Amino acid sequence: MLERLQKIIAAAGLGSRRESETWIQDGLVTVNGQVADKLGAKADPERDAIKVKGKLINPQLASRKLVYYLLNKPKGYLSSLADPQQRPLVTALLPKDAPRVHPVGRLDFNTEGLLILTNDGALTNIVTKAGDHCPKVYHVKVKGKPGPAQLERLQRGLTIDGEFHRIARLSPLEITDYDNAWYELVLHEGKNNQIRKMFDAIGHSVVKLRRVAIGHLTDAGLPVGAARELTAAEVGRFFSKRKIAPRVVARKLGKPRPTGEAKARQRERLAATLGAPAGERLPASRPSHSATPPSRSARAATPAAARAAAGQTPGKKPGQTPKSAGAKPDSALPGARSARVRRAPRRTP
Protein backbone atom coordinates (compact mmCIF):
# COMPACT_ATOMS: atom_id res chain seq x y z
CA MET A 1 0.00 0.00 0.00
CA LEU A 2 1.41 3.36 -1.05
CA GLU A 3 1.99 5.86 1.76
CA ARG A 4 3.73 9.19 2.04
CA LEU A 5 7.43 8.86 2.81
CA GLN A 6 7.32 11.13 5.86
CA LYS A 7 4.61 8.93 7.37
CA ILE A 8 6.63 5.75 6.71
CA ILE A 9 9.79 7.22 8.24
CA ALA A 10 7.91 8.42 11.32
CA ALA A 11 6.31 4.98 11.65
CA ALA A 12 9.79 3.45 11.75
CA GLY A 13 10.47 5.51 14.86
CA LEU A 14 13.29 7.56 13.41
CA GLY A 15 11.68 10.90 14.12
CA SER A 16 8.55 12.98 13.76
CA ARG A 17 6.89 13.69 10.44
CA ARG A 18 8.29 17.21 10.47
CA GLU A 19 11.84 15.89 10.89
CA SER A 20 11.17 13.33 8.16
CA GLU A 21 10.08 16.10 5.80
CA THR A 22 13.37 17.90 6.45
CA TRP A 23 15.37 14.75 5.63
CA ILE A 24 13.40 14.32 2.40
CA GLN A 25 14.00 17.91 1.33
CA ASP A 26 17.72 17.55 2.13
CA GLY A 27 17.96 14.50 -0.17
CA LEU A 28 18.70 12.03 2.64
CA VAL A 29 15.93 9.59 1.65
CA THR A 30 16.08 7.13 -1.22
CA VAL A 31 13.50 4.70 -2.64
CA ASN A 32 14.90 1.78 -4.63
CA GLY A 33 18.19 3.66 -5.00
CA GLN A 34 16.58 6.88 -6.29
CA VAL A 35 16.69 10.08 -4.24
CA ALA A 36 13.17 11.13 -3.18
CA ASP A 37 13.40 14.85 -2.42
CA LYS A 38 9.73 15.79 -2.91
CA LEU A 39 7.31 15.90 0.01
CA GLY A 40 4.53 14.32 -2.02
CA ALA A 41 6.57 11.20 -2.84
CA LYS A 42 5.03 7.85 -1.87
CA ALA A 43 6.31 4.30 -1.43
CA ASP A 44 5.16 0.84 -0.43
CA PRO A 45 7.20 -0.39 2.57
CA GLU A 46 6.36 -4.04 1.71
CA ARG A 47 7.81 -3.84 -1.82
CA ASP A 48 10.14 -0.82 -1.98
CA ALA A 49 13.58 -0.50 -0.39
CA ILE A 50 13.56 2.71 1.65
CA LYS A 51 16.75 4.16 3.08
CA VAL A 52 17.24 7.13 5.41
CA LYS A 53 20.77 8.51 5.62
CA GLY A 54 21.96 5.38 3.83
CA LYS A 55 20.34 2.96 6.30
CA LEU A 56 17.57 0.56 5.24
CA ILE A 57 14.49 1.05 7.41
CA ASN A 58 12.33 -1.83 6.10
CA PRO A 59 13.46 -4.27 8.85
CA GLN A 60 12.51 -1.72 11.51
CA LEU A 61 9.08 -1.34 9.94
CA ALA A 62 8.52 -5.10 9.87
CA SER A 63 9.62 -5.83 13.43
CA ARG A 64 8.68 -2.64 15.23
CA LYS A 65 6.56 -2.68 18.35
CA LEU A 66 4.60 0.46 19.11
CA VAL A 67 5.42 1.86 22.53
CA TYR A 68 4.19 4.98 24.33
CA TYR A 69 5.86 6.61 27.33
CA LEU A 70 4.74 9.54 29.47
CA LEU A 71 7.69 11.35 31.05
CA ASN A 72 7.64 14.05 33.73
CA LYS A 73 10.66 15.92 32.41
CA PRO A 74 12.91 17.75 34.89
CA LYS A 75 14.87 20.91 34.14
CA GLY A 76 18.23 20.48 32.46
CA TYR A 77 17.24 17.88 29.84
CA LEU A 78 16.94 18.40 26.09
CA SER A 79 13.84 17.21 24.19
CA SER A 80 15.83 15.72 21.33
CA LEU A 81 17.51 12.51 20.17
CA ALA A 82 20.97 14.07 19.78
CA ASP A 83 22.85 17.20 20.83
CA PRO A 84 26.20 18.50 19.52
CA GLN A 85 26.82 20.13 22.93
CA GLN A 86 26.45 16.76 24.69
CA ARG A 87 23.71 17.98 27.02
CA PRO A 88 21.53 15.38 28.79
CA LEU A 89 18.70 13.99 26.64
CA VAL A 90 15.18 13.01 27.74
CA THR A 91 15.70 9.50 26.32
CA ALA A 92 18.20 8.86 29.12
CA LEU A 93 15.29 8.92 31.60
CA LEU A 94 13.47 6.00 29.95
CA PRO A 95 13.95 2.31 30.84
CA LYS A 96 17.17 0.83 29.49
CA ASP A 97 15.32 -1.74 27.38
CA ALA A 98 13.09 0.89 25.73
CA PRO A 99 13.14 0.83 21.90
CA ARG A 100 14.10 3.86 19.89
CA VAL A 101 11.47 6.56 20.39
CA HIS A 102 11.19 10.28 19.69
CA PRO A 103 9.66 13.10 21.75
CA VAL A 104 6.23 14.34 20.67
CA GLY A 105 6.74 18.08 20.51
CA ARG A 106 9.31 19.82 22.65
CA LEU A 107 9.85 21.28 26.08
CA ASP A 108 12.56 23.89 26.56
CA PHE A 109 15.80 22.92 28.29
CA ASN A 110 14.77 24.78 31.47
CA THR A 111 11.09 23.78 31.32
CA GLU A 112 9.76 20.80 33.20
CA GLY A 113 6.58 18.77 32.86
CA LEU A 114 4.85 16.16 30.75
CA LEU A 115 6.31 14.88 27.51
CA ILE A 116 5.17 11.92 25.38
CA LEU A 117 7.80 9.73 23.71
CA THR A 118 6.79 7.12 21.14
CA ASN A 119 7.71 5.41 17.90
CA ASP A 120 4.17 5.83 16.53
CA GLY A 121 4.12 8.53 13.87
CA ALA A 122 0.32 8.56 13.76
CA LEU A 123 0.05 9.50 17.43
CA THR A 124 2.77 12.13 16.99
CA ASN A 125 0.79 13.73 14.20
CA ILE A 126 -2.45 13.73 16.23
CA VAL A 127 -0.96 15.31 19.35
CA THR A 128 1.08 17.98 17.57
CA LYS A 129 -1.64 19.05 15.13
CA ALA A 130 -4.81 18.46 17.13
CA GLY A 131 -5.36 22.13 18.05
CA ASP A 132 -8.19 22.53 20.55
CA HIS A 133 -8.81 18.76 20.37
CA CYS A 134 -5.70 18.22 22.54
CA PRO A 135 -5.00 21.27 24.75
CA LYS A 136 -1.76 21.59 26.70
CA VAL A 137 -1.97 23.06 30.21
CA TYR A 138 0.94 24.92 31.84
CA HIS A 139 1.63 26.46 35.24
CA VAL A 140 3.90 29.48 35.01
CA LYS A 141 5.54 31.65 37.65
CA VAL A 142 6.44 35.15 36.48
CA LYS A 143 8.52 37.91 38.02
CA GLY A 144 6.31 40.56 39.58
CA LYS A 145 2.56 40.88 39.17
CA PRO A 146 1.20 41.94 35.75
CA GLY A 147 -1.61 44.48 35.80
CA PRO A 148 -5.07 44.05 34.20
CA ALA A 149 -4.01 45.87 31.02
CA GLN A 150 -1.00 43.60 30.57
CA LEU A 151 -3.05 40.44 31.13
CA GLU A 152 -5.60 41.68 28.62
CA ARG A 153 -2.81 42.02 26.04
CA LEU A 154 -1.87 38.39 26.62
CA GLN A 155 -5.47 37.25 26.15
CA ARG A 156 -5.83 39.23 22.91
CA GLY A 157 -2.59 37.79 21.57
CA LEU A 158 0.76 39.33 20.65
CA THR A 159 2.77 39.64 17.45
CA ILE A 160 6.43 38.93 18.19
CA ASP A 161 9.07 39.03 15.45
CA GLY A 162 6.33 38.99 12.82
CA GLU A 163 4.62 35.91 14.28
CA PHE A 164 1.28 35.99 16.11
CA HIS A 165 1.17 34.21 19.49
CA ARG A 166 -2.07 33.40 21.26
CA ILE A 167 -3.09 31.89 24.61
CA ALA A 168 -6.34 29.92 24.61
CA ARG A 169 -7.02 30.32 28.36
CA LEU A 170 -5.41 32.36 31.13
CA SER A 171 -6.33 32.26 34.82
CA PRO A 172 -4.48 33.23 38.01
CA LEU A 173 -3.48 30.54 40.49
CA GLU A 174 -4.01 31.29 44.17
CA ILE A 175 -0.42 30.63 45.22
CA THR A 176 1.37 33.07 47.56
CA ASP A 177 4.97 33.49 46.44
CA TYR A 178 6.34 36.80 47.74
CA ASP A 179 6.05 39.37 44.94
CA ASN A 180 5.73 36.86 42.09
CA ALA A 181 2.53 35.62 40.42
CA TRP A 182 1.42 32.17 39.23
CA TYR A 183 -0.90 31.56 36.26
CA GLU A 184 -2.45 28.61 34.50
CA LEU A 185 -2.25 28.75 30.71
CA VAL A 186 -3.87 26.59 28.06
CA LEU A 187 -2.34 26.42 24.59
CA HIS A 188 -3.74 24.92 21.41
CA GLU A 189 -0.53 25.62 19.53
CA GLY A 190 3.08 24.89 20.37
CA LYS A 191 5.45 27.54 19.07
CA ASN A 192 9.08 27.70 20.18
CA ASN A 193 9.48 29.50 23.54
CA GLN A 194 5.97 30.89 23.10
CA ILE A 195 5.09 31.44 26.78
CA ARG A 196 8.45 32.95 27.67
CA LYS A 197 8.35 35.33 24.70
CA MET A 198 4.83 36.52 25.50
CA PHE A 199 5.57 37.33 29.14
CA ASP A 200 8.85 39.01 28.14
CA ALA A 201 6.83 41.21 25.81
CA ILE A 202 4.74 42.57 28.72
CA GLY A 203 7.77 43.08 30.97
CA HIS A 204 7.36 40.09 33.31
CA SER A 205 9.87 37.33 32.61
CA VAL A 206 9.14 33.68 33.35
CA VAL A 207 10.80 32.34 36.50
CA LYS A 208 9.41 28.79 36.39
CA LEU A 209 7.40 26.86 33.79
CA ARG A 210 5.97 23.36 33.83
CA ARG A 211 3.45 21.46 31.70
CA VAL A 212 0.87 19.71 33.86
CA ALA A 213 -1.46 18.19 31.24
CA ILE A 214 -1.51 16.97 27.63
CA GLY A 215 -5.08 16.36 26.60
CA HIS A 216 -6.52 13.85 29.06
CA LEU A 217 -3.10 13.00 30.54
CA THR A 218 -2.01 14.75 33.76
CA ASP A 219 1.05 14.64 36.00
CA ALA A 220 -0.91 13.16 38.93
CA GLY A 221 1.09 10.38 40.58
CA LEU A 222 4.11 10.83 38.29
CA PRO A 223 7.15 12.33 40.10
CA VAL A 224 9.54 14.65 38.30
CA GLY A 225 12.10 12.58 36.39
CA ALA A 226 9.90 9.46 36.28
CA ALA A 227 8.34 7.79 33.22
CA ARG A 228 5.59 5.24 32.70
CA GLU A 229 4.02 3.43 29.75
CA LEU A 230 0.61 4.59 28.59
CA THR A 231 -2.25 2.13 28.76
CA ALA A 232 -4.14 1.01 25.67
CA ALA A 233 -7.17 3.02 26.82
CA GLU A 234 -5.09 6.20 27.22
CA VAL A 235 -3.62 5.80 23.75
CA GLY A 236 -7.01 4.99 22.23
CA ARG A 237 -8.54 8.24 23.49
CA PHE A 238 -6.12 10.22 21.31
CA PHE A 239 -7.55 8.50 18.24
CA SER A 240 -11.18 9.06 19.21
CA LYS A 241 -13.22 11.76 17.50
CA ARG A 242 -14.49 13.29 20.72
CA LYS A 243 -12.63 15.92 22.71
CA ILE A 244 -9.89 14.24 24.72
CA ALA A 245 -9.92 16.92 27.41
CA PRO A 246 -12.54 19.31 28.70
CA ARG A 247 -11.94 22.96 28.04
CA VAL A 248 -10.40 24.66 31.04
CA VAL A 249 -12.68 27.51 32.11
CA ALA A 250 -10.56 30.33 33.43
CA ARG A 251 -11.81 32.97 35.82
CA LYS A 252 -12.32 36.36 34.20
CA LEU A 253 -9.62 38.85 35.08
CA GLY A 254 -11.90 41.88 34.88
CA LYS A 255 -14.36 43.33 37.39
CA PRO A 256 -15.04 40.92 40.31
CA ARG A 257 -18.55 39.72 41.11
CA PRO A 258 -20.34 41.84 43.76
CA THR A 259 -20.48 40.54 47.32
CA GLY A 260 -21.84 41.80 50.63
CA GLU A 261 -23.22 45.36 50.53
CA ALA A 262 -22.46 45.71 46.82
CA LYS A 263 -24.57 42.64 46.10
CA ALA A 264 -27.45 44.02 48.26
CA ARG A 265 -27.38 47.34 46.37
CA GLN A 266 -27.42 45.44 43.08
CA ARG A 267 -30.55 43.54 44.15
CA GLU A 268 -32.24 46.81 45.23
CA ARG A 269 -31.60 48.34 41.80
CA LEU A 270 -32.91 45.20 40.11
CA ALA A 271 -36.01 45.21 42.34
CA ALA A 272 -36.70 48.86 41.47
CA THR A 273 -36.38 48.06 37.78
CA LEU A 274 -38.85 45.19 38.06
CA GLY A 275 -41.24 47.14 40.26
CA ALA A 276 -40.92 44.76 43.23
CA PRO A 277 -40.32 45.85 46.87
CA ALA A 278 -36.61 45.99 47.75
CA GLY A 279 -37.00 43.54 50.61
CA GLU A 280 -38.94 40.98 48.57
CA ARG A 281 -36.96 38.05 47.24
CA LEU A 282 -36.91 38.06 43.46
CA PRO A 283 -37.85 34.86 41.66
CA ALA A 284 -34.84 32.78 40.66
CA SER A 285 -36.34 31.73 37.33
CA ARG A 286 -39.18 32.52 35.01
CA PRO A 287 -42.50 30.86 35.86
CA SER A 288 -43.56 27.90 33.81
CA HIS A 289 -45.81 28.58 30.83
CA SER A 290 -47.83 25.54 31.81
CA ALA A 291 -49.28 27.35 34.88
CA THR A 292 -53.12 27.40 34.97
CA PRO A 293 -54.41 30.79 33.70
CA PRO A 294 -57.10 32.64 35.68
CA SER A 295 -60.70 31.85 34.83
CA ARG A 296 -62.90 34.18 32.78
CA SER A 297 -64.93 35.10 35.87
CA ALA A 298 -61.72 36.02 37.74
CA ARG A 299 -60.56 38.19 34.82
CA ALA A 300 -63.96 39.91 34.75
CA ALA A 301 -63.89 40.51 38.48
CA THR A 302 -60.45 42.07 38.48
CA PRO A 303 -61.39 45.62 37.25
CA ALA A 304 -64.59 45.58 39.28
CA ALA A 305 -62.75 44.69 42.47
CA ALA A 306 -60.21 47.39 41.80
CA ARG A 307 -62.95 50.02 41.39
CA ALA A 308 -64.69 48.77 44.55
CA ALA A 309 -61.47 49.21 46.51
CA ALA A 310 -61.20 52.79 45.18
CA GLY A 311 -64.84 53.60 46.15
CA GLN A 312 -66.03 53.91 42.53
CA THR A 313 -69.13 52.70 40.75
CA PRO A 314 -68.99 51.13 37.30
CA GLY A 315 -69.44 53.74 34.62
CA LYS A 316 -68.78 56.67 36.99
CA LYS A 317 -65.78 58.92 37.15
CA PRO A 318 -63.84 59.44 40.38
CA GLY A 319 -65.71 61.76 42.77
CA GLN A 320 -69.18 61.00 41.36
CA THR A 321 -71.85 59.51 43.63
CA PRO A 322 -74.25 56.80 42.57
CA LYS A 323 -77.78 57.85 41.45
CA SER A 324 -79.47 55.69 44.03
CA ALA A 325 -78.34 54.46 47.40
CA GLY A 326 -79.67 51.01 46.59
CA ALA A 327 -77.20 50.36 43.82
CA LYS A 328 -75.76 46.91 43.85
CA PRO A 329 -72.14 46.61 44.97
CA ASP A 330 -69.54 45.32 42.51
CA SER A 331 -69.32 42.05 44.36
CA ALA A 332 -72.95 41.37 43.47
CA LEU A 333 -72.44 41.87 39.73
CA PRO A 334 -72.73 38.80 37.52
CA GLY A 335 -69.46 36.92 37.18
CA ALA A 336 -67.87 38.45 40.32
CA ARG A 337 -68.12 35.76 42.95
CA SER A 338 -65.45 37.01 45.32
CA ALA A 339 -63.32 40.03 45.91
CA ARG A 340 -60.29 37.73 46.32
CA VAL A 341 -58.91 37.38 42.82
CA ARG A 342 -56.26 35.01 41.67
CA ARG A 343 -53.60 37.08 39.98
CA ALA A 344 -51.55 35.97 37.04
CA PRO A 345 -47.95 35.15 38.01
CA ARG A 346 -45.52 38.00 37.62
CA ARG A 347 -43.11 37.53 34.77
CA THR A 348 -39.51 38.47 35.24
CA PRO A 349 -38.24 40.42 32.26
Which range has the worst mean pLDDT, 41-45, 50-54, 120-124? Answer: 120-124
| Average pLDDT over every residue of 215-235 | 94
> Do the first three CATH levels of 68-128 and 130-218 match, i.e. the same topology?
yes
Using the predicted structure, report yes or no on whether residue 224 has a pLDDT greater than 80: yes
- CATH value of 130-218 in 3.40.50.620, 3.30.70.1560, 3.10.180.10, 3.40.50.720: 3.30.70.1560
Give the number of other Cβ atoms within 10 Å of residue 42's Cβ: 15
Taking the alpha carbons of 49, 53, 59, 61 in that order, is the dihedral positive or negative? negative
178 or 221: which carries more pLDDT confidence?
221
Q: How far is CA 6 from CA 13, 117, 162, 278, in A?
A: 11, 18, 29, 70
Sequence spans of domains, the chain: 3-63, 68-128, 130-218
Does domain 3-63 correspond to CATH entry 3.10.290.10? yes
Q: Write out the catalytic residue numbers.
A: 108
Q: Residue 143: pLDDT above 60? A: yes
Please write the tens of the pLDDT for every residue from 262-314. Answer: 667 767 776 776 665 545 554 544 444 444 555 555 454 455 555 554 555 55
Residues 99 and 150 sit within 8 Å (Cβ to Cβ) = no
pTM for the full model? 0.60
Evaluate if residue 188 carries a pLDDT over 60: yes
Beta pairing partners, 171: 184
Res 141 pLDDT > 90: yes
- Report the pLDDT value the prediction gives residue 106, as an integer from 0 to 100: 87
pLDDT of residue 267: 72
Q: Residue 336: what pLDDT?
A: 45
Instruction: In whole angstroms, give the CA distance from residue 170 to residue 181.
Output: 13
Q: What pLDDT does residue 32 have?
A: 92
Q: What is the DSSP string of 301-313?
A: HHHHHHHHHTT--
Is 68-128 a CATH 3.30.429.10 domain? Answer: no
